[in-house]
Every structure is written in C-alpha cells, then in structure tokens.
Amino acid sequence: MKIGIDKIGFYAPHLYLDMNQLALHRGIEPEKFTIGIGQEEMAVAPITQDPVTLAANAALRILNDDDKEKIDLIMFGTESGIDHSKSAGIYVHHLLNLKESARVIELKQACYGATAAIQLAKGHIALNPESKVLILASDIARYGLKTSGEVTQGAGAVAMVISAAPNIMSIEDKSTFLTSDIMDFWRPTYSEEAFVDGKYSNEQYIAFFQETWKKYKAETNLQLNDFAAICYHLPYTKMGLKALRTVLNDGSKGTQDRLLRNYELSKTYNKLVGNIYTGSLYLSLLSLLDQQKDLKPGDRIGLYSYGSGAVAEFFSGILQPEYQDHLQKEENEELLSSRKELSVSEYEEAFLKTLPQNGENFELDIKNDPAVICVAGI
C-alpha cells in the first residue's frame, strides 16, 4: 500500500524583517547574512500569533470537509508549545472543528518532531487505510536580540495530510535514523529563548547526515544518482548545502548539477521565512515542489531531518502522478509577497512584547493581524 503526503501547506505571519537591514543595524556586512548564512528575510510573529494559531492557519489553507471527516489522528510537532501538559493539537482540533472521534497528541524532539509524526502516521494508516492523519509542525524560533543566532530565527507552520494513495508523494518504507545525547541546542523550561553551541550544532548536523546517509546507502543499495533532489532541515539555508557538499562527489556530474540546482529551489520559501524548527524540512520540500517545474512523477526525493539533542533520519519519497495539480503555488507566493516589512526597531519591539507569564487574564487587539485565526486573549 502506498502511504504518504496527500496535501501540504504552510502559514507564516504577516510581518517580516529584511536581513540587510538587520545586518546594518548590528554593524555586520549584509553579505554575511544573505550569502554566508543564506537568509534574505525573517518572518516575525506578532503577539497575536503563537504556535497554535500558526498551525491552525496552515491547516485551514489545505483541509476540506472530506479530510475533516476522515482525520482520526492529529499529531502536533513543536518545541515552542504553550503548555507542558495539554497538547497544542487539542486547540487546533477545536478551532478547525475536527471530529470528536480522533486522537490528538503533541510530539517533541526539537526539529525532528514532524518527521517522527510522519513515520507514526504510516503505521496508523497501514492499520486503518481509510483514515487520514493531520500533521502540524509549528514553531517560533527565538535566540534573542543581538545574539549570533538572531539571524537564524523565524516563525511559521506546515500542515500535512497523510493518507493511503496519497496525491503528492508516497513515503518509501526504508529509512535510517540515529540518536545520540548531545548538547548542541536546547531550551530548558525556565527560558523563553534557546541556548545553542552554534559551531558544534553545525558539525553535529553534518556528522549525523553523513552517518544516516551512509547507513541508508548500505541498507537500500540506492546511490546519489537515484535521487532527483534532496531536501534538508534548513535552520538557515546555507546549512543543507554544507551537508550536501560533503557527499556530492559520490554522484556523476549530471547528478551533482541536478542536486545543486534543486537545492537552490528547495530553499525558496525558507530564505524568506527563517527557521521554523520542526516545519523547516517540509517548508523546503514545499518550496521544491512549487518551484521546480522539471520534476516528474516517479522522481525520488531524499529528506534529511535533524532535531538537536539529537535525532536524525534520512528517508525518501516518490512523486505521484499529477502531483502538481495538488499544490497551491500561487497562494503560497501570495502569502509571502503580501507581508508587511518591519523596521529593525519595530522588530525589536515585537520581539520583546510577550504574553504575561503569571496566568492573568489578558486581551489583545487583533484588528491589525490579517490571519483568520489569532490569539485574542488568555
């Protein structure tokens, strides 16, 4: 039975910051951010958006009544959730009026959560071929003002429907994964911002990639030449390229050119949105599918998922017949092009404006937020 991605969509908040402006204000050469890091813009979440509303807005853009009738499992991957106990998915279940006879859970393993959800969804669909699974991957990435991670922040969500006989991409059965207890990036419960050992995290991302890729090749007998493209978890868009370059020599000249060309297209939305943690790999996949017209049904796409701490997985999917008819390229481009630019001081103000932490009632003015679903208060 083919199981995989039947629908995929995303949502990013309506505000963004230009990385050239950020660099100028921080006294850094803009090329470091736009070329060295590979980020052009960064989505900024207003106080009226949180990981729940971002996810609900993403799901709203792809679900129809038939999906709502068949979805009986909702998995919400996040590392910036709003409650230690209650799943963020329950709020989305309510907001989208999903059916009562559904299971809802939240998954956390840094940026790896949504990949875990996909693999669990495969098992669920194998046992229940008529059902559909909604996967939400939603985060707001915060490192702090004037930190070296500042340029790698972002905000947004990806929503995916997983089903049997999927319209977009079937997920192949073989995948290789790896876990090791490392402190490259973490956010303890007392902190609003993540702690990171930046250089070490880059090294570990690449080391985990090389290991999972080596195992994948050994266990499948597939080679680089068998891939039309490889999509990466993109904490910033230079990161995947650094990993790809370490294995490129395994492929023919034609394969190297193809993978590099497709890598460029796979970062289209990520370089305008920034790191959305667990949704980043899937935003990259969406960029590739929307922007690369030369892909064909039957093409194999590799996917490298990395979640600090750390768990990594390499797996693959096969594009389905007429998959292009099930994408929303114009709507996705419109979502990004209609955003409003913030000055650096407006961004700093938005960054510092956070919800009260003492549990008090709080109302927010949502008239300036064009999203269908907003945080109106606590």
Considering beta carbons, is residue 185 or 323 the nearer one to ligand HMG?
Answer: 185
Residue 139 Cβ vs ligand HMG, minimum distance, rounded to whole Å: 8
Task: Determine the Cα–Cα distance for residues 194 and 254; give it in Å rounded to an integer.
Answer: 40
Catalytic residue among 106, 150, 233, 374: 233
Residue 57 Cβ vs ligand HMG, minimum distance, rounded to whole Å: 21
Residue 23 Cβ vs ligand HMG, minimum distance, rounded to whole Å: 9
Binding site for ligand HMG (CB under 6 A): 29, 31-32, 35-37, 79, 110-111, 148-149, 151-152, 184-185, 196, 198-199, 201-202, 205, 233, 235-236, 238-239, 275, 277, 306-308
Per-residue H/E/C for the chain: CCEEEEEEEEECCCEEEEHHHHHHHHCCCHHHHHHHHCCCEEEECCCCCCHHHHHHHHHHCCCCHHHHHHEEEEEEECCCCCCCCCCHHHHHHHHCCCCCCCEEEEECECECHHHHHHHHHHHHHHHCCCCEEEEEEEEEECCCCCCCCHHHCEEEEEEEEEEECCCCEEECCCCEEEECCCCCEECCCCCCCCEECHHHHHHHHHHHHHHHHHHHHHHHCCCHHHCCEEEECCCCHHHHHHHHHCCHHHCCHHHHHHHHHHHHHHCCCHHHHECCHHHHHHHHHHHHHHHCCCCCCCCEEEEEEEECCCEEEEEEEEECCCHHHHCCHHHHHHHHHCCEEECHHHHHHHHHCCCCCCCCCCECCCCCCCCCCCCCEC
Considering beta carbons, is residue 208 or 216 the nearer one to ligand HMG?
Answer: 208
Tokens at 299, concatenated: 């093409």
111 belongs to the catalytic site: yes
Considering beta carbons, is residue 232 or 323 the nearer one to ligand HMG?
Answer: 232
Considering beta carbons, is residue 138 or 170 the nearer one to ligand HMG?
Answer: 138
Catalytic residue among 106, 111, 313, 374: 111
Considering beta carbons, is residue 30 or 251 the nearer one to ligand HMG?
Answer: 30
Residue 68 Cβ vs ligand HMG, minimum distance, rounded to whole Å: 30
84 belongs to the catalytic site: no
Residue 35 Cβ vs ligand HMG, minimum distance, rounded to whole Å: 4
94 belongs to the catalytic site: no
Residue 205 Cβ vs ligand HMG, minimum distance, rounded to whole Å: 4
Considering beta carbons, is residue 28 or 336 the nearer one to ligand HMG?
Answer: 28
**Catalytic positions:** 79, 111, 233
